[in-house]
């Protein structure tokens, strides 16, 4: 299946057309017959249709905004990196549980930036400030950048930029499979290419508009063969019926399809399902028939690093999940590293 993002409408900031990429994109979308609109700011876009929450959400997901990233400050990005690298914002995927649903507004349009070189110059300043320490940048904190790569080429530029810097490292994660443009990039082992994976039932029920488990694993094998340091985020880990069987099938497929000689130093990040009261409200509004389990009575309440509370699995279930994944990964991927479990 073709997962190329094809927007229904594209908004341009005026300043975006001062950059070669902005001009190229406008010409491309005009030739494709895509509706072109103008906006004064990529942060305040009006005119996206949608009378109901579901319509507004879907029309937002079909909207692309082309702008200029002006802020010189990068957000921090714990626990995976020192800073976010803001290349893209939002994602064309329609995952029911996605936390972006609560901070992207009712119409979560996708933003790309035409001034990639300026963004990378700012990254260089952060690296200089932290010398001689190595500085790690996360390229997918608020987005999935792969679907936008055919339009921006920003990921490949970032990969090759960090490949030249001894004190910089790059990492990003994707659910998508359009990895071909990055396979010949000169990464110099400085970029960790990670895939967000899950059991097939979770993907089918909750990760709408994204590739299947087997398609992602196939793409991950290509990336491993291109020599990238490889990682996997298993998230969100959801305790549904037969969850141990389904996650065993996932990990077994991964072990089978990634050549053993390329399994050196694979990293795993394990994130259990959690939700906030606000997120639950947004999710049930956009997906009124969701079967995603969000019963506060079955969860433990915990304050997060940003000061708001969230509902997580109780302590005994968290320990059960942790023990299960540690046992399976130690057996199937003895040279791997679990970076964190939350």
Q: Does residue 3 belong to any structural domain of this protein?
A: no
Q: Does residue 272 belong to any structural domain of this protein?
A: yes
Task: Provide the pLDDT for residue 308.
Answer: 75
How would residue 299 be classed by pLDDT, with cut points 50, 70 and 90? very high
Provide the percentage of residues in the chain whose pLDDT is more than 70: 97
Task: Provide the pLDDT for residue 41.
Answer: 83
Q: Does residue 1 belong to any structural domain of this protein?
A: no
User: Kind of pairing, strands 76-77 and 81-84?
Assistant: antiparallel
- 203 is in which domain, residue-wise? 9-341
Tell me the CATH number at 141. Answer: 3.80.30.30
pLDDT in tens, 101-153: 667 778 999 999 999 999 999 999 999 999 999 999 999 998 999 999 999 99
Number of domains, the chain: 1
Q: What integer is the mean pLDDT of 267-284?
A: 93
| Residue 164, number of CB atoms within 10 A of its CB | 10
Q: Tell me the three state secondary structure of residue 277.
A: helix
CA distance 22 to 15: 9
Task: Provide the pLDDT for residue 121.
Answer: 96
Q: Does residue 84 belong to any structural domain of this protein?
A: yes
User: What is the distance of C-alpha 278 from the center of its chain?
Assistant: 21
Residue 302 has pLDDT above 70, yes or no: yes
What does the block give as tokens for 226? 């291109």
Task: Provide the pLDDT for residue 262.
Answer: 83
Residue 303 has pLDDT above 90, yes or no: no
Give 265 or 134, the one with higher predicted confidence: 134
Q: Does residue 4 belong to any structural domain of this protein?
A: no
CB neighbours of 54 closer than 8 A, spacing ≥ 6?
286, 287, 288
| E strand or H helix at 194 | strand 191-197
CB neighbours of 123 closer than 8 A, spacing ≥ 6?
74, 83, 85, 137, 161, 168
**Residue whose C-alpha is closest to residue 181's, from 159, 218, 203, 156:** 156
Output 309-317 pairs: Cβ under 8 A, ≥24 positions apart.
309/276, 309/277, 310/274, 310/275, 310/276, 311/274, 311/275, 311/276, 311/277, 312/272, 312/274, 313/239, 313/272, 313/273, 313/274, 317/239
Three-state DSSP string of 155-184: HHHHHHHHHCCCCEEEEEEECCCCCHHHCC
Task: Provide the pLDDT for residue 307.
Answer: 65
Q: Does residue 327 belong to any structural domain of this protein?
A: yes
pLDDT in tens, 37-85: 999 887 788 899 999 999 999 999 999 999 999 988 999 988 789 999 9
Q: Does residue 149 belong to any structural domain of this protein?
A: yes
pLDDT in tens, 204-220: 999 999 999 999 999 99
User: What is the distance of C-alpha 234 from the center of its chain?
Assistant: 12
Q: Tell me the three state secondary structure of residue 35.
A: strand
Task: Provide the pLDDT for residue 2.
Answer: 67
CA distance 223 to 319: 32
Provide the percentage of residues in the chain whose pLDDT is more than 90: 86
Residue 26 has pLDDT above 70, yes or no: yes
Output 319-326 pairs: Cβ under 8 A, ≥24 positions apart.
321/237, 321/239, 321/270, 321/272, 322/270, 324/244, 324/247, 325/234, 325/237, 325/247, 325/268, 325/270
């Amino acid at each position: 299946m073709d997962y190329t993002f094809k927007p229904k409408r594209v908004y341009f900031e005026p300043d975006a057309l001062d950059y070669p990429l902005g001009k190229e994109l406008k010409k491309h979308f005009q030739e494709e017959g895509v509706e072109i609109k103008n906006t004064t700011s990529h942060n305040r876009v009006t005119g996206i249709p949608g009378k109901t929450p579901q319509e507004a959400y879907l029309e937002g997901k079909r909207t692309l905004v082309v702008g200029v990233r002006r802020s010189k400050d990068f957000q921090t990005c714990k626990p995976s990196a020192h800073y976010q690298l803001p290349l893209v914002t939002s994602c064309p995927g329609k995952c029911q549980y996605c936390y972006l649903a609560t901070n992207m507004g009712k119409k979560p349009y996708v933003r790309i930036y035409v001034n990639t070189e300026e963004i990378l110059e700012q990254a260089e300043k952060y690296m200089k400030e932290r010398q001689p320490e190595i500085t790690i940048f996360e390229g997918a904190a608020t987005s999935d950048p792969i679907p936008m790569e055919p339009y921006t080429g920003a990921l490949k530029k970032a990969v090759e930029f960090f490949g030249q810097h001894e004190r910089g490292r790059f990492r990003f994660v994707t659910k998508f499979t359009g990895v071909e443009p990055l396979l010949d990039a000169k990464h110099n082992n400085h970029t960790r290419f990670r895939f967000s994976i899950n059991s097939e039932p979770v993907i089918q029920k909750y990760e709408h508009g994204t590739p299947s488990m087997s398609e992602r694993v196939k793409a991950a094998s290509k990336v491993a063969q291109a020599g990238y340091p490889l990682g996997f985020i298993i998230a969100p880990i959801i305790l549904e019926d037969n969850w141990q069987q389904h996650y065993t099938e996932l990990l077994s497929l991964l072990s089978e399809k990634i050549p053993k000689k390329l399994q050196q130093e694979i990293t795993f990040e394990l994130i259990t399902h959690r939700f906030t009261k606000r997120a639950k409200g947004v999710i049930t509004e956009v997906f009124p028939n969701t079967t995603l389990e969000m019963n506060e009575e079955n969860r433990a309440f915990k304050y997060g690093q940003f000061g708001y509370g969230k509902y997580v699995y109780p302590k005994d279930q968290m320990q059960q999940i942790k023990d299960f994944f540690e046992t399976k990964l130690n057996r199937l991927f003895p040279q791997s590293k679990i970076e964190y479990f939350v």
